[in-house]
Amino acid sequence: SVVLGIETSCDDTGCAVVDSTGSILGESLYSQTALHIRYGGVNPVFAHELHRSNIESAVSDALRNAGKNIKDIDAIAVTTRPGLLLSLQVGSKYARYMCRIHNKPLIPIHHMEAHALVARMYHKVQFPFLVLLISGGHCLLALVKDVNNFELLGKGIDNAPGEVLDKVARRMKLRNKPEYSKISGGQAIELAAQRSTNLSQFEFPLPLAKYRDCNFSFSGLKDSTIRKLEERETEHNVMGDELIPEVYDLCAAFQLAVAEHIAHRTHRAMLYCEKYKLIDPNNRVVVVSGGVACNNFIFKSIEHVGSEMGYRTYRPPHNVCTDNGVMIAWNGIEKLRKQIDIRTDFSLKVEPEAPLGKDSRDKVETAN
């Protein structure tokens, strides 16, 4: 079968046509990242406007690239949760309208489940597997037992990692350097960190070190990084748009702290799965996805704890870690195969807040 996927949960309008073998027949992406970098964050009103003006072209581009007519499509999958209300509505309404006039089944998709499942399109990943989703709006650790069966093991209790990377990059004024002006804050930090020569001058305590659960906290790291930045700014009498001389070292130390925290929590989740035999010992897999998974330094830190625990660590290609239509179409294929959530009456409900799976965080806390 062939599914058209539509993603409009946040700021990117993404569409794709994917078949049941996992081939991407065609795709399109209208990204608003450049605009939001300029304004320092996603503006829901702008995002809504841009989705509205792009949705029609995004769908027709994906179909044209695939060399397909809407008649050749078996179902339309669309993100209905979680996300920005107005943004979600643009995709959902358009998908419902298309399904009605062409009489196609409609499949609602959970954005974070799609981020997790798309790894199965690229790698040999069988249920159950562990997933770590690190992005601009989320930080989640979950056990994926089936297409529609997720168990939440841990999540961020304050700012998401991507959000913190973006804020710190902005505060460090990295954007004032032309080489960092057109990329996301997270990517800017990664590149800047590579130029560090002495990161040990900055040290950060491990967040939530004494808690026995798998939750995350990044706001303390953000605050201490900004405090250190301000100290150096005063010390060097830095003015206006100037950067501190130790900017690369501070980026590297901050990135290291973020990576260590993520790796530490992932390790706890692995210990929990081990203790209760939740993962097949012959097939231990952890999937890492979401925009921050693009960061090679962070990914390698997870790969490292993974290999110590006997896990294979997988991530989708970079452009599929960030928001895209491919993962929505693929989740549609997975649901179609199992006949889950197929709406032939075109009913659809958007939910801005939607937790991922069953919350098992209490169990994790008492177990470890």
CA-to-CA distance for 322 and 334, rounded, in angstroms?
Answer: 20
Binding mask 19-58 for ligand ATP (x = CB under 6 A): ----------------------------------------
Give the pair of three-digit tokens for residue 166. Answer: 């973006």
Q: Which residues are within 8 A (CB) of 125 and not within 5 positions of it... i.e. 6 or more apart?
A: 119, 285, 287, 314
- Taking residues 318 to 337 in sequence order and writing x for each that binds ligand ATP by CB under 6 A, - otherwise, the string is ----xx--------------
Position among 166, 246, 323, 334 found at the interface with Fe ion (CB under 5 A): 323
In whole angstroms, the minimum distance from the beta carbon of 74 to ligand ATP comes to 27
Query: Residue 355: is the preceding peptide bond cis (ω within 30°)?
Result: no
Segment contacting ligand ATP by CB under 6 A, of 265-273, 290-298, 343-351, 354-362: 290-298
Q: Please say which residue, 185 or 332, places its beta carbon nearer to ligand ATP.
A: 185
74 three-state secondary structure: coil
Give whichever of 313 and 324 is closer to Fe ion, judged by the CB atom: 324
Shortest Cβ distance from residue 282 to ligand ATP (Å)? 31
Residue 346 CB, nearest approach to ligand ATP (Å): 25
Stretch that binds ligand ATP, among 71-79, 86-94, 131-139, 217-225 (CB under 6 A): 131-139
Q: Would you list the DSSP string of 97-136?
A: HHHHHHT--EEEEEHHHHHHHTHHHHS---SSEEEEEE-S
Site string for ligand ATP, 174-203 (x = CB under 6 A): ----------xxxx--x-------------
Nearer to Fe ion, 272 or 299 (CB): 299
Give the C-alpha separation, 96 to 4, whole Å.
Answer: 12
CB 130 within 8 A of CB 273: yes
225 binds ligand ATP (CB under 6 A): no
In a 13 Å sphere around the CA of 94, the CA atoms on its Cβ side amount to: 27
What's the helix, strand, coil split of the chain in %, to 5?
A: 50, 20, 35
* Binding partner at 80 among ligand ATP, Fe ion, none, C-beta below 5 to 8 Å by kind: none
